[in-house]
Amino acid sequence: MTAPPPPARTAPRRWIAWLAALAIAAALLLAGEALIGRLSRDATESARVEAEAAADVVHQVLLRRLEAVEVLHRLTQSWLVLRESGNDQGRSAIETELASTVNAGQFGFIQVAIIGRDGWMLWSSIPGSGAPVYLGDREHFQVHARGLRGLFISIPLVGRVSQRWTVQLTRPLLGPDAAFAGVAVVSMDLHDLSEALAEIQFRPQDSAMILRGTLRAAHSRIPGTAIGTELPADDPLRASPPDQMTGSVLRRTPEGQQSITAWRRVAGTPLTVAYIQDYAASQAGVANLALLVRLTAGAGGAVTLMLVWVGLSLRARATARQVAAAAETERSLAEAASATYARRIAGLPGLIYGGDIRPDGTFTLTHASESAERVVGWTPAHLLDMPDPHELMEPSDAARQAEFYASVGQQGEAQREFRLRRGDGQWIWVRDSVRVVDRRADGTAEMVGYIADISDERAIQAKLQNAGRLTTLGEMATGLAHELNQPLAVMSLAADNASRALQRRGAAALPDIQERLSRIGQQAQRARDIVDHLRVFGRSDEGEPEPLSLAQAVEGASVLTNGALHAAAIDLSIDLPAGLPPVMARLVPLEQAIVNLLMNARDAIDDHRRETGREGEGAGWIRIAAAVEGPMLAMTIADSGGGIPDSHMDRLFEPFFTTKAPGKGTGLGLPLVHAAMRAFGGSITAANGPDGAVMTLTFAIAGAPAAAPVATAGAGAPTLPDAAPDIS
């Protein structure tokens, strides 16, 4: 009998094959989902970085307008001083300047208005707004009337004069007695600001907005319905900690659009800028790619189930082709997004550029936005082809490039201002804001920068400096009259003596007469020197720093202040060693800086005498000395005025802060000193000595490598702002 055949082994092998195919299909699906998840995370992170960069651009646009507001507020304070002194011509000149600045439309202001202490509007830059307008019930008037001395920004409101949506940026006006004398108001056009934000949008679905607290003040897409509205109670932007200055969140807009919102607070104000990037648009490419990956994984699993017998090698090649197709799709999407980004950047009002900073401070330009030709007059291609784009800067600024970029690489961000030569040969002032966005293992830092034309702002600052110089001349008028009376009195006495001698002694008196005539000539030359210094001091000087003798500037300042110091019984001693090297400065602004510090010292000594009950008991003193310290030259001006109170030291350079008696200060002294020293590439510091204040001016020595400028008000104090007032 024949034995039965052994059981077939094909069934177990089939199950093993099917199980293997199912395992492979599942692995493909899991790998696809993992790839989709990674691509989604990468797209989200890329969108967040792009939104934060756009928020930085919005922040710079708003800061530029706030800086212009600060200048206009200072001009309105000068308007009040001139009005109180009866100087109608000077007041009219400031009104013309305010109106022309606002009506030019560059900064998006509707008007500048001045409100009296009684709440009635005294003046407005809007033509034909002469009808009486009462603004005493407005919050931005009442907060200053109750004692607020800093900047106040109102909620969005409709102006009573302009009848347009605005926010009111206000500061109090101070009278001669330092008491509240009214309010200076700059009205910012919120529709114009919304239009400026619209130019920054990278995609049609994106938007930008500015918040005042939780109220929308400007919106790039829907200004007509958004301005003045409240953020929803559940909006994540409400939950951001007050001390957190920047961040990004995933949120839904009121229109139901899911977005990545990057925000940044404006320091010292209740304002927050935000850029809302359409999350769905950033994920659109990922969604398409996810569908492709899932279809590919499913197809791969089906093919594997049907062709499991073909072998692993054929399946591996198919998977490789699929991954390559996915990579090509991702590359195409990235190129399209990059082209859109470049097109939006080209429409910005400033130049965005990028590059690499090596640890030694060497900078390599890698890209520049298409807006370069509009801002600086050079095409991006021309800038990239230049051996060294820093040739467009002043030689002194170009020489400090390595030091500046090394500082950026260490600190992460920095800002500077310098002159730049456009393609048409015209020189303009620009502000360069630089930030590190990535650091590599070799120590190289990738950075992005934003260059904006600030020539108009610098022109306004120059006018303010000229106004301060004329104010200083007015304060010294009495002392200068005394200084001129001395040589005139000597000349008159010598002429009388010569006449009497000639009448009494005739020809025998000729030797004495010749001596008196010589004395008259000397005194006439002395009076002529004083007048020449006044003529030089009163003229405008807006040039660039150049090699200058420090002794020449000190001598000119002493000629202008000798009369005032002598009348106050103050001894001025000058100790400048022979052979001091020349410093980088301008004669007129430097003389003005020294004159302001000497007059501040005089007033401090007078106040100290009164406070200590020593009026008329001995002379006060002021000492000027200088010494070379490495690549810099330091000059100190010390006095016997008792020093600066510790409570005032932190506010010493705060705008419009003064410690002088009412009616003695205009707030234009130390701001001009600080601005001049920064323009020279130097610094100013304040400290207390044994007997009084010690002000130290530090200058770059002509021909020496420049050091980073620092301006502090004593040990541990923060860096000074671009413009700080004097304590006069």
pLDDT of residue 373: 79
Higher pLDDT, 685 or 615: 685
pLDDT of residue 712: 44
Is residue 210 scored above 90 in pLDDT?
Answer: yes
574-613 per-position pLDDT tens digit: 999 988 999 999 888 888 889 889 988 988 898 888 888 7
Is residue 726 scored above 90 in pLDDT?
Answer: no
Q: Is residue 423 very low, low, confident or very high in pLDDT (cuts 50, 70, 90)?
A: confident
Q: What is the DSSP letter of 122?
A: E
Give the integer Cα–Cα distance in Å for 367 and 363.
12
pLDDT of residue 626: 95
217-249 per-position pLDDT tens digit: 999 888 888 898 998 888 888 888 888 889 888
pLDDT of residue 658: 65
Most confident of 93-107, 135-149, 283-297, 313-327: 135-149
Helix boundaries (H) for 221-277: 223-226
605: tokens are 């000594």
254-309 per-position pLDDT tens digit: 666 778 888 999 988 999 999 988 877 666 655 556 666 666 666 666 666 665 55
Lowest-confidence region among 74-83, 270-279, 386-395: 386-395
Give the integer Cα–Cα distance in Å for 313 and 536.
90
Name the strand (E) or helix (H) holding 194. helix 190-198
pLDDT of residue 270: 92
DSSP for 16-55 reads HHHHHHHHHHHHHHHHHHHHHHHHHHHHHHHHHHHHHHHH
Average pLDDT, the chain: 78
Name the strand (E) or helix (H) holding 721. none
Q: Which CA distances in Å does 417 have to 286, 424, 430, 431, 710? A: 42, 20, 6, 4, 15
Higher pLDDT, 174 or 8: 174
Confirm if 223 and 367 have CB atoms less than 8 A apart: no
Higher pLDDT, 727 or 369: 369
Residue with tokens 């022109």: 459
Q: What percent of the chain has pLDDT over 90?
A: 19
Confirm if 276 and 252 have CB atoms less than 8 A apart: no
What phi, psi does 554 have (nearest 5°)?
-65, -40
640-684 per-position pLDDT tens digit: 988 888 877 766 655 555 666 555 655 556 667 777 788 788 888
**Sequence letter at residue 529:** D
Confirm if 265 and 246 have CB atoms less than 8 A apart: yes
pLDDT of residue 708: 43
pLDDT of residue 432: 84
**10 Å Cβ neighbour count for 127?**
9
Q: Is residue 116 very low, low, confident or very high in pLDDT (cuts 50, 70, 90)?
A: very high
Q: Average pLDDT in the 185-204 region?
A: 86
Give the integer Cα–Cα distance in Å for 469 and 162.
35
**10 Å Cβ neighbour count for 713?**
23
498: tokens are 């010569």
Interacting residues of 120 by C-beta distance below 8 A, sequence separation 6+: 132, 133, 134, 135, 136
Q: Average pLDDT in the 508-526 region?
A: 71
44-64 per-position pLDDT tens digit: 787 788 888 888 888 898 888
Lowest-confidence region among 67-81, 346-360, 511-525: 511-525
* Helix, coil or strand: residue 242: coil
Q: Is residue 709 very low, low, confident or very high in pLDDT (cuts 50, 70, 90)?
A: very low
CA angle 25, 31, 32 (to 5 degrees): 90
**Sequence letter at residue 340:** T
- Nearest-CA neighbor of 329 among 604, 39, 117, 87? 39
pLDDT of residue 154: 92
Q: Average pLDDT in the 426-451 region?
A: 86
Q: Is residue 716 very low, low, confident or very high in pLDDT (cuts 50, 70, 90)?
A: very low
